[in-house]
Structure 1
Amino acid sequence: MNPIDHARNPSYGATRPAIATISSNKVIRNTYLLLSMTLLFSALTAGAAMALNLPHPGIVITLIGYFGLLFLTTKFRNQGLGVAFVFALTGFMGYTLGPILNLYLGLPNGGQTVMMAFGATAAIFVGLSAYALTTRKDFSYMGGFLTAGILVAFLAALAAVFFTIPALSLAVSAAFVLLMCGLILYETSNIIHGGETNYVMATVTLYVSIFNLFTSLLQLLGFAGGDE
């Protein structure tokens, strides 16, 4: 900082934190607005898939669709097209969720299991987000652990699917619950402290956290309730 500028305007240096705060508040506002719209859109596509009794696309198509749309969203994140791909991604994930919900709703106590998973997901997300926003703690130190943990859990989930290992699948679900809780704290903190300035990518991260948290809780609660 130029000392002459500081002498002319003592508040020169003090404006930087204020500008950073305004910028982070804007990202937070845009992120939660887009997140709420994508969650609603995802719920609509899930509802449509349930009403039409559409089959699950399968693990291979799901992975191709998810990573393909995620790549396009990331590539166009600084353009208006990025928002369109966010809706395409979340809509696709909603469609994959529809057949899963139909499966649970067709089981004894399935409706109760789905509502419990939904309620727990909402409570956890709101609670963790509120904690990060009010305390403004920096959770950036969790980044490396979360990256490694998610990668290991993802590979373990693939192994559980391809080799049909129920115990491993449950362990992965439990791990994902913890990892997604950490990711919600990390990403919210990242927005607050300026580590994430793109609301499109922030929305995707939070949406994926919520989606994985819900499906993981659904499996754990379903197992605990004897639905599986």
Structure 2
Amino acid sequence: MNNQMFSQSTSQESAIQTNKVLRNTYFLLSMTLVWSAVIAGLAMAFNLPHPGFLITIVGFYGLIFMVEKNRNNSSGIMYTFLFTGFLGYTLGPILNSYLGAGMGDIIVTALGGTALAFMSASAYALTTKRDLSFLNGMMMAGFVVLLVGMVANIFLQMPILQLALSSMFILFSTGAILLTTQSIIRGGETSYISATVTLYVSIYNIFISLLSILGIMRDD
């Protein structure tokens, strides 16, 4: 009887902790998305230049490192907002280029597609009883292919390759949303800061990839 009561108590505590991580993740994610949108809007309003490939890469991985290093303390929240604000800033000049080319409707379409992809993937991960861990191997293979493709695209600059990479980024990012969400509800991910950043990056990549695909199709 004591063992049964202890098991029930442990299970309840685990469920409470899981719900807390999930709740905190979605709350922080919503805050960072708003913050990022504000920074992107300011970058657009002041017509700020894009920081360039090198600064973007250094800023991205440098801030990711600081977020993960502080994932279990309050400093992690500060670095999360610095990271998402930085990506918001890089987004501003990109959006201005689409607006300048008369493609404002593409931005709206990409936003809608991104929201639909995120909500669909999250809803599936939250409700399915299927173990999605089989995606890990596919994600690793996809990461290698994306890395090679990105390096090749720096030199080749081929629209068809960019289209393929953008499509793969959408699939890869959707997989990351599925795995991260299920990891939270199954107790595998206990840091809402890390979960938030993973989901944010996935949303960012889907949006940028949709912009690229729609832009290429419009050019054609």
Is TM > 0.5 for Structure 1 vs Structure 2?
A: yes
SS in structure 2 of the partner of residue 10 of structure 1: helix
SS in structure 2 of the partner of residue 197 of structure 1: coil
Unaligned runs of 5+ in 2: none
1:44 maps to what in 2? 38
1:4 maps to what in 2? none
Q: Is the 2:36–2:88 Cα contact (8 Å) retained in structure 1?
A: yes
Amino acid corresponding to residue 14 of structure 2 in structure 1: A
**What whole-Å deviation, never above 9, does each CA across 1:11-35 have from its counterpart, x for those lacking one?**
2223333222211111000000000
**What whole-Å deviation, never above 9, does each CA across 1:144-175 have from its counterpart, x for those lacking one?**
32133123213312321243222211110011
Unaligned runs of 5+ in 1: 1-6
Aligned counterpart for 2:133 among listed residues 124, 137, 140: 140
Q: How does 1:115-130 map to 2 (within 5 A)?
A: 115-130=108-123
1:182 maps to what in 2? 175
Per-residue deviation, 1:131: 1.6
TM-score, reference length from structure 1: 0.91
Q: Distance in 2 between matches of 1:85 and 1:69?
A: 7
CA RMSD, 1 decimal: 1.5
Per-residue deviation, 1:104: 0.8
1:73 maps to what in 2? 67
Q: Distance in 2 between matches of 1:15 and 1:151?
A: 43
Q: Is the 2:159–2:216 Cα contact (8 Å) retained in structure 1?
A: no
Q: Is the 2:174–2:202 Cα contact (8 Å) retained in structure 1?
A: yes
Q: Distance in 2 between matches of 1:34 and 1:218?
A: 25
Amino acid corresponding to residue 78 of structure 1 in structure 2: N
The higher radius of gyration belongs to: 1
Q: 1:155 and 1:58, CA in 2 relative to 1: closer, same or farther beyond 3 A?
A: farther
Identity of aligned residues (%): 50
SS in structure 1 of the partner of residue 78 of structure 2: helix
Q: Distance in 2 between matches of 1:51 and 1:184?
A: 31
How many residues align? The count is 220
Per-residue deviation, 1:9: 5.3
SS in structure 1 of the partner of residue 30 of structure 2: helix
1:14 equivalenced with 2:18 (yes/no): no
Amino acid corresponding to residue 187 of structure 2 in structure 1: G
1:169 maps to what in 2? 162
Deviates more, 1:10-19 or 1:93-102: 10-19
Per-residue deviation, 1:90: 0.4
Amino acid corresponding to residue 151 of structure 1 in structure 2: V
Q: Distance in 2 between matches of 1:170 and 1:183?
A: 20
